[in-house]
Chain A
Amino acid sequence: MSKTVENIILFFVALLLQVILFNNIKLFNYINPYIYIIFIIYYPLKKEKGLFLFLSFLLGLSVDFFSDSGGINAAATLFIAYIRLPLLSTILRKSDFDYLLFRLRSIPFLKSLTYIFFLTFTHHLLLYSLEYFSFNEFKTILTKTFITSLFTVLLILLGIILFTKKR
């Protein structure tokens, strides 16, 4: 299967899984995992990131359309899409990548876990800050971010381990 088709499928699967299935999972009436950011985590690394930024924005906005939340998902998703490459180069301590051959499964587990957790945490923090939009709720925002991040990371890890081949 060509890479482009694979990416398009990933986009729609992430979107539909999020709005149809995971938006209805309200664990303890509190936790609503945002697994659609697996698209940002798993999208192949490229030097030209214009299309990637635009697709991330579109994915976030689509989730917003489904959940009546203005532009909070779009803002958070676009932000983590922008910081993805600098973050990876900091974690792996590399300034340049072999873009074509890079695979998430081929880097050490602890480093990929750090990468996934950091992206998820940033996304959730931005998302909840924009959703509550108030400094009075700072404690609620932090606890919600932390607990939901743990849950989202767990689901994303499971997804990656189950559905990708180890190389």
Chain B
Amino acid sequence: MKQILKFLIKNRYFLLFLMLEFFALFFTIQNHSYHKSKFINSANGLTGSIYTKVNAISSFFNLKEENKHLIEENIRLKNLLEIENIDVSSENTHLDSTKFFKRFFYTSAKIIKNEYTKPNNYLLIDKGLKNGIQSEMAVINSRGIIGVTNNVSNHNATVISILNKYLKINAGFTNSDYFGTLSWNGKDYKTVQLLDLPRQAQFKIGDTIITGGKSNTFPKGILVGKIKNFEKTNNVYQIINITLFNDMSSLNNVNIITNLQRNEIQQLEKLNNE
């Protein structure tokens, strides 16, 4: 007993070091698995409020850029309205709002922490549980896809950026129904990769990629980017590089999409699995 005590006292710093290092590695490994709830994240009261205060100052510098984005979005929406002009003059048109089921609900938020140089990037937004944000909601802006919410606290939420190795999103083409998986190889923050595309899919450089709507997070048709280049061996597409429409290095205002049918779909999927 005395020997053990002596040993403990003699090596107390080393043992303290080992213990703390064990904790640090435990948090690291936990962070590497995507779906687990995490203890270390920036969506808590203290870090959230500090980032909010800093952002209140720094957001003034982006006003010009943000104005440009808003004008761009306005123009895009006006053009969409022109395309889908409902002919109200015809007598056959009935607009009965009870017939339409609203499937998606949009909430606005602001990015208060942005990163894009790491292999796994996380963002922080200024809305949380109190604003109806939950985990696994889609985050987009006027130029397209940004990410999916992850940890949510009362006033803040972390977002897994599209620039994160653990995020896989279903995406496809505007002109055909083939779809693949969108992921990032951790290299360039302007390009992402489309994988698992069937070999009969036809496309060319410059085609627009949109979300496929096969998951219950993203609605169909959210903009992603343009095809930059692709490699093909034995008629199988290896890697398709996509230039993002979004500039991930300067993000400010975003929209969060709530899927109002999510519970219903999840229940159905549960029934299928049983």
Q: List A residues at the B interface (Cβ < 8 Å).
A: 19-20, 23, 26, 29-30, 32, 49-50, 53-54, 57, 60-61, 64-72, 74-75, 78-79, 82, 130-133, 137
How far apart sit A130 and B28, CA to CA, in the bound complex (Å)?
8
Residue of A nearest to B121 (CB): A68
Q: Which residue of B20, B32, B116, B119 contacts A70 across the interface (Cβ within 8 Å)?
A: B32
How far does the Cβ of A75 sit from chain B's closest Cβ, in whole Å? Answer: 4
Residue of A nearest to B31 (CB): A70
Q: List B residues at the A interface (Cβ < 8 Å).
A: 12-13, 16-17, 20-21, 23-32, 38, 40-42, 44, 46-47, 50-51, 54, 113, 115-120, 122, 124, 158, 186, 189, 249
A20-B54, A50-B13, A71-B26 are known contacts. Are A26 and B117 too (CB-CB below 8 A)?
Answer: yes
How many A-B residue contacts, CB cutoff 8 Å? 102
Chain A contacts of B118 at CB under 8 A?
32, 69, 131
How far does the Cβ of B34 sit from chain A's closest Cβ, in whole Å? Answer: 12
Chain B contacts of A133 at CB under 8 A?
28, 32
Contact at B119–A132, with CB atoms within 8 Å? yes
Chain B contacts of A78 at CB under 8 A?
17, 20-21, 24
Chain B contacts of A79 at CB under 8 A?
21
Chain B contacts of A57 at CB under 8 A?
20, 23-24
Which of B46, B47, B51: most chain A Cβ within 10 A?
A: B47
How far apart sit A161 and B136, CA to CA, in the bound complex (Å)?
48
How far apart sit A119 and B54, CA to CA, in the bound complex (Å)?
30
The A interface, classified by DSSP as helix, strand, loop or mixed, is helix
How far apart sit A133 and B124, CA to CA, in the bound complex (Å)?
23
Q: Which residue of A19, A32, A68 contacts B122 across the interface (Cβ within 8 Å)?
A: A68
Q: Which residue of A20, A64, A75 contacts B25 across the interface (Cβ within 8 Å)?
A: A75
Contact at A49–B13, with CB atoms within 8 Å? yes
Contact at B40–A32, with CB atoms within 8 Å? no
Can you show 21 pairs from A to B with CB atoms below 8 A apart? A23-B115, A26-B117, A53-B16, A65-B46, A66-B51, A68-B31, A68-B41, A68-B124, A68-B158, A70-B30, A71-B23, A71-B24, A71-B25, A71-B26, A74-B20, A74-B23, A75-B24, A75-B25, A75-B28, A78-B20, A131-B119
Chain B contacts of A30 at CB under 8 A?
117
How far apart sit A20 and B113, CA to CA, in the bound complex (Å)?
10
Contact at A82–B17, with CB atoms within 8 Å? yes
Contact at B17–A53, with CB atoms within 8 Å? yes
Chain B contacts of A71 at CB under 8 A?
23-28, 31, 40
Chain A contacts of B31 at CB under 8 A?
68-72
How far apart sit A6 and B189, CA to CA, in the bound complex (Å)?
40
Given A70-B32, A137-B186, 12 other A-B residues pairs in contact with their CB atoms under 8 A: A20-B54, A26-B117, A29-B117, A57-B23, A65-B40, A68-B42, A69-B40, A70-B28, A71-B27, A72-B31, A75-B28, A131-B119
How far does the Cβ of A161 sit from chain B's closest Cβ, in whole Å? Answer: 28
Contact at B40–A61, with CB atoms within 8 Å? yes
How far does the Cβ of A119 sit from chain B's closest Cβ, in whole Å? Answer: 16
How far apart sit A130 and B31, CA to CA, in the bound complex (Å)?
11
Residue of B nearest to A26 (CB): B117
Chain B contacts of A67 at CB under 8 A?
42, 115, 122
Which of A68, A79, A130: most chain B Cβ within 10 A?
A: A68
Chain B contacts of A54 at CB under 8 A?
16, 20
Contact at B117–A32, with CB atoms within 8 Å? yes
How far does the Cβ of A42 sit from chain B's closest Cβ, in whole Å? Answer: 20
Which of A23, A50, A69: most chain B Cβ within 10 A?
A: A69
